[in-house]
Amino acid sequence: MRILGLSALYHDSAAALVVDGEIVAAAQEERFTRRKHDDRFPRHAIDYCLAAGGIALGDIDHVVFYDKPFLKFERLLETYVSFAPKGYKSFRIALPLWLREKLFQKDLLAGELKDMAGGTFDAGKMLFTEHHLSHAASAFFPSPFEEALVLTLDGVGEWATTSAAIGKGHSLDIFKEVHFPHSLGLLYSAFTYYTGFKVNSGEYKVMGLAPYGEPRFVDTILEHLIDVKPDGSYRLNQDYFDYCTGLTMTNARFDALFGAPPRKPDKDLLTPFHMDLAASVQKVTEIVVEKLARGLQKETGQRKLCMAGGVALNCVANGVLHRLGIFDEIYVQPAAGDAGGAVGAALAAYHIHHGRPRTAGLDRMRGAYLGPEFAQADIERRLAAAGAVFEVLSDDELIRQSAEALAAEKAVGWFQGRMEFGPRALGGRSILGDPRSPTMQKTLNLKVKYRESFRPFAPSVLREHVADYFDYDADSPYMLMVAPVVEGRRLPMTPEQEALFGIDKLNVPRSDIPAVTHVDYSARLQTVRAEVAPRYHALISRFRDLTGCPLVVNTSFNVRGEPIVCTPEDAFRCFMGTGIDVLAVGNCLMHKERQDPALALNYETAFELD
């Protein structure tokens, strides 16, 4: 049975192909169109998935959309009615868009599919799942667990903002929900907006900024904005928010509570005040997630947890949950946001709608390496056409020279195998560096990524050595767990350094792997196994042989505002527009100084800032 899952028309459109219960391919539309968070119908992603499966659209048994538009429209109308006459301006803007594009999405989707199929497509093949069921299915069905609690946390689906389900075999039953307008995800997004970052893309910046501040507003948030019960259920005080009926996330009463207007990113600098706000909402998020987890575990007795939804990308909260030991094992869907709904919708149709059995025991996301790959001959042809100067090396020589470049503190672009599905680069489309370098974080942020200097970088560490460096001894293949650096590798701080605050903390090395150690001595881990990512594991192993260090800096292969690179041409352009020193694409190796200077680009201003 061939099932195509779609996530589209809100943000982060994606497609996924499931054949007989196995995930064959999945990709976000943005990677092909080069438009960050592209929300349009995922025509390119569908084309890729069909090509990867060797089938045509007419061969598909079902096309499954990841939510139910009529339920969303019901929520829109009921919300405006309940708040009327407040919010008329927002309603006047939103209603025509819904009537024109969203309410009749089945017709819109069927029309797009018909066009792709050459004029004929059976709309009877279309199915629709509820948003949170898609999320839950994306987490449980690929997980290795036979039975688990499934927790979904996001902004909002149709009505649900938080849901709990039990997965058993091929069944998945949601038994508890929190409904809009009460939303942990929207609370975090409100602070994202208030601190001057973009909603639905800047939340991870708030998470990265949090360790620079002090959580001094936690009591204010818990007293005025969110009422959290002992079991983790919660309600938001709508007197302080404007997202139900207005055009912004917060209102004047929110401003008065914290004593300032929202930060204007193009005018106002980040201050310790904004860092304290970030630290506070992050701490509140951790409190709510912990209470939810404890309450649901006590209620269900489940010892394994699966997570999905945008809030599940908060790897700091995930790390706290892991260290608490409430569950024996935790599995987080690597594409936990809306893009992953495409995978969940397809799997829900296969296992729930059709009742097909499921085999537990393996991670069916395949390391998230579900995107396009390129044969060596194709890579060489594409790079030559782009004007690249490269040498073709054996596997061993490529690994050796790349590892030596890393040991020489050079930034290495690493483009190998299949592209990752989800927001994290995991060694398929990555920029790599030496974690021992005290200047690597600043170099990568300012000269390669062209992004804010406070942003931390992640280590990719050999699974067999993770406990030597971090207070963590389990798998974290998807960079969705944060753990502390072990005490023995930390560097003591002087009284003068202890007295620093805010961004001034950035330049103080915290450990013998300073490039991946955040200011609170934490790191966002990716563990690498040879059987999942053999070439990446071989590179890190060779770097270890040269330096004694079994990990590398790993950041996504893109600049700020750009989608992660997809093709060899994308990689070469980014290489020529940034401070990347060396580029490895397949078995082709390129050095910046050997390239034609006429091909140099300015990527610093090439993309709209996120």
Tokens for 422?
């989800």
Which residues, other chains included, contact 96 with Cβ-Cβ below 8 Å and sequence gap of 6+?
Answer: none
CA angle 253, 254, 260 (to 5 degrees): 100
d(CA 292, CA 185): 14
CA dist list (Å): 609 to 339, 449, 522, 554: 21, 11, 27, 21
Q: Which two tokens stand for residue 29?
A: 């539309």
Q: What gap in Å lies between CA 94 and CA 10, rounded to an integer?
A: 13
Query: 278 phi and psi, to 5 degrees?
Result: -60, -45
- Asked whether the beta carbons of 449 and 555 are under 8 A apart, the reply is yes
Residue with the two structure tokens 């499921």: 358
Beta bridge partners of 4: 17, 63
Residues identified as active-site? 11
The number of beta carbons lying within 10 Å of the beta carbon of residue 266 is: 7
> Structure tokens of 94?
């939103």
* Closest of 199, 209, 210 to residue 262, by C-alpha: 199
At a CB cut-off of 8 Å and minimum separation 6, what does 33 contact? Answer: 40, 44
Sign of CA pseudo-dihedral 202, 206, 207, 209: positive
| H or E stretch at 127 | strand 126-128
Residue 175 three-state SS: strand
Backbone angles phi, psi at 477, to 5 degrees: -70, -15
Cβ contact 53:2 at 8 Å: yes
Q: 110: number of CA atoms within 13 Å, CB side?
A: 13
Rounded Cα distance between 106 and 102, Å, is 9
From CA 189, how far away is CA 197, in angstroms rounded? 9
- 74 three-state secondary structure: helix
CB 430 within 8 A of CB 556: yes
Q: How far apart are CA 163 and CA 142, in angstroms?
A: 18
Report the alpha-carbon distance of residue 51 to residue 45 in Å, rounded.
10
DSSP 517-539: --TTSEEEEEEE-TTTSHHHHHH
Give the three-state DSSP class for 323: helix
The single-letter DSSP state of residue 554 is: E
Q: How does 473-512 read in b/e, with b if 16+ C-beta sit within 10 Å?
A: eebbbbbbbbbbbeeeeeeeeeeeeeeeebbebbebbbbe
